A and B are shown apart, each in its own frame.
Chain A
Amino acid sequence: MKIKRRDFLKGLAGSAVLAMAPPAIASSSEKNRLPDALGILYDSTLCVGCQVCMVACKRANNMPLEFYGPQKRWDNPVDLSSKTLNIIKVYENGTPKEKDREIDGYAFVKRHCMHCVDPACVSACPASAMTKDTKTGIVSYNKNACIGCRYCQVACPFNIPKFEWDNPFPKIVKCQLCSHLLAKGQIPACSNECPTGASLFGPVADLVKEAERRQNMTAGKYYEFPVSEISSTKKQVHKAKKYIPKIYGENDGGGTQVLMLAGVSFDKLGLPMLPDRSYTAIAENIQHTLYKGMILPIVAFGGLIFLVKRAEKKKKE
């Protein structure tokens, strides 16, 4: 059979009306750091593993204790969870004798939300419950907007958002950089309590400079390290360790506002090795290209209608 030109055009027009969604603006450009972004520089070589940041975090955010195993003596989470926003983990190898050494050594790592420059959770959230502050860049969660789909959990390359499986009215739980304390002019509890300056709070621009300064230090020499806050006048003198030549989070996964320095490679510390282009940028680029000007959907939809019409005609005949 042959389809009439008229029918084909009719079908095409119908499909266009049906797909009258506002055309998405294709923005494949990657996002850049916000000029006033706030973050944390975690220096694994300065961390002594005292876990006071975990205690401070629980206290500041009113989080319950978490017991792993039968002993209910210490707050001993084994991973981030709906009860734990911040955790110190340890890498151990062989007979862990020396700190910050990969073979027969050990090293600490502090894990919590990285506050990505281009956060996947915000991109994946269909309800705008995950938002990135336009000034500070803090990624926060609004429980009133959340529909509980947990896409953010799947999307996050760092496996950060946690779901309250044991709550009949569950929420997503993640570090929000102690926004409630920042509003009061205080700093995040973990950095505030850190005794060595391993967890250092400040504007990301300054933290990057500080991280670069540390990268250029000579191992074995003594340097001053600010404690708690980058602008703090309280400084401590530590012997610089040998840093691996990388600032984690500078570009990883499109960049993060939580930066890390370490003496052992970051994959050993359980951090994912991510491309410099964020997954968000890649995914959004594909999506935005497909839907650019609604041309491809219209063509595809029109084609479908054409096929249906043809089949109907065939049946009648």
Chain B
Amino acid sequence: MKDQNFAGPIREKLKGVSRRDFMKFCGVMAVSMGLPFGAGTQIAEAITNPKRRPPVIWLHGQECTGCTESLLRTSHPSLEHLILDLISLDYHETLNAGAGHQAEAALENSVKENAGKFIMVVEGSVPIKDGGIYCMIGGRPFADIVKETAAKAAAVIAIGSCASWGGVQSSAPNPTGATGVPEFLKGTTVVSIPGCPPNAYNFLSTVLYFLTFKKLPALDELGRPKFAYGRLIHENCERRPHFDAGRFAEQFGDEGHRQGYCLYKLGCKGPMTHANCPSILFCDVGSGAWPVGTGHPCFGCTEEGIGFTIPLHTEADIEIVTPAAEHAPIQTKRGAGISAGSAALVGGIAGVAIGAGAVVAKRLGDKNKGE
């Protein structure tokens, strides 16, 4: 039976995961990438019939490991299925079983063995000031490791805001010269998955897309996958109706805040930040599990020049046309009429002009007399 043939290898691969759950996962992944639901089957095939699990090398630079932490909390697939069954995670400083020289040797071997085949993921920014001495791994500057590894990688993914554009440590005065991977590896196509932390499913979807279709998903001009970063948070926000109706929380804990009103006045950067947070949510716990859902304004972590740059409670600029909650009246009164001050000023100028005119006329008369 076809079904059994198909289910067999899956069961082998994903011990303890039912076929139903697995197909559900593939379908969800396909949908989150904006692919037709049928692409789930293709994804399933790519996962179950690889010639070899695709090797992944995960480098850590200047970062807080938040991206990895958020990846640890995914449930479909769970991280253990991802790294033990779907990909071959050859090097990851947080998840390595080995340590020290043993780990570094694993990295070296994998790069040598899988040259041109492995996916390189960078978490954290690259410090380039003073020869890169602000981030050393195994006695070598992180910058050198990134450059060497990237040269042999099939694809480079920058996960998190630090790797995408420098993150918090690149804010002025940027003492270590923290640089994002796309800028550091200029000329190489780098997929950026910005966010602090980014949604793990955006990362997983990108990896699975690459495994399935052997190419990178459509990227925007900043190298972000369009399926995840194509729209503004403002466009899909669950509090948008409150914005449109002019209902705003004025301060934390006030009546409007408790009622779930729009957080724009508290400094929400949703109107200028591209990300799919409101549609995909975090942590698989249901509705409301994202910053704005919990009552905190978006601070624009996925957007360079907004997150860690514009103060948290500064009102955002509106990027796209949003019609007003109210309509223009048929007739609009403009100006406030003539104020006493402006009348006095105009009167004074007129008086001076008349006086000057009189003086000139008188002088002219005198001149004529003199002649």
Residues of A within 8 A of B (CB): 49-52, 54-55, 58-59, 65, 72-79, 87-92, 108-109, 268-270
Contact = CB atoms under 8 A, between A and B. Distances in A.
A89 B330 contact: yes
B328 A74 contact: no
B349 interface: no
B264 interface: yes
Given A75-B318, A78-B329, 11 more contacts: A51-B323, A51-B324, A52-B323, A54-B321, A55-B323, A73-B322, A74-B325, A75-B324, A76-B323, A90-B328, A269-B330
Given A72-B318, A73-B318, A79 B328 contact: yes
A312 to B, nearest CB: 28
B326 interface: yes
A58 B322 CA distance: 10
Contact of B327 (A58, A65, A90): A90
A90 B324 contact: no
Interface in B301-354: 315, 317-318, 321-332
B165 interface: no
B243 interface: yes
In the A-B complex, the 7 residue pairs with the closest CB atoms: A51-B323, A76-B324, A90-B327, A74-B324, A270-B330, A78-B332, A55-B321
A65 B321 contact: yes
Contacts of B329: 78, 89-90, 92
A90 B330 contact: yes
Contact of B317 (A72, A76, A91, A269): A72
Given A65-B318, A73-B264, A73-B318, A89 B323 contact: no
Contacts of A88: 327-328
Nearest to A57: B321
B243 A73 contact: yes
A224 to B, nearest CB: 28
Given A73-B243, A73-B264, A78-B332, A49 B318 contact: no
Pick the most buried of A73, A92, A108: most chain B CB atoms within 10 A of its CB. Answer: A73
A48 to B, nearest CB: 11
A302 B236 CA distance: 77
A76 B321 contact: no
Interface residues of B, number: 17
B324 A89 contact: no
A262 B317 CA distance: 37
Contacts of B264: 73
A76 B326 contact: yes
B322 to A, nearest CB: 5
Contacts of A87: 328
Contacts of B325: 74
A75 B323 contact: yes
A88 to B, nearest CB: 6
A58 B328 contact: no
Nearest to A54: B323
A205 to B, nearest CB: 30
A91 B330 contact: yes
B332 A74 contact: no
B165 to A, nearest CB: 26
Pick the most buried of B243, B318, B328: most chain A CB atoms within 10 A of its CB. Answer: B328
Contacts of B330: 89-91, 109, 268-270
A77 B323 CA distance: 9
Pick the most buried of A49, A55, A76: most chain B CB atoms within 10 A of its CB. Answer: A76
Pick the most buried of B323, B326, B329: most chain A CB atoms within 10 A of its CB. Answer: B323
B322 A89 contact: no
A4 B336 CA distance: 65
Contacts of A90: 327-330
Contacts of B323: 50-52, 54-55, 74-76
25 contacts: A49-B327, A50-B323, A55-B322, A55-B323, A59-B321, A65-B318, A65-B321, A73-B318, A74-B318, A74-B322, A74-B325, A75-B318, A75-B321, A76-B324, A76-B326, A77-B328, A78-B328, A78-B332, A87-B328, A90-B327, A90-B328, A90-B329, A90-B330, A268-B330, A270-B330
Nearest to B326: A76
A303 B328 CA distance: 56
A73 B324 CA distance: 8
A268 B322 CA distance: 27
A282 B326 CA distance: 40
B321 A58 contact: yes
A59 B329 CA distance: 23
Contact of A51 (B317, B318, B327): B327
Interface string B187-207: 000000000000000000000
Nearest to B325: A74
Contacts of B327: 49, 51, 88-90, 108
Contacts of A109: 330
A25 to B, nearest CB: 41
Nearest to A107: B330
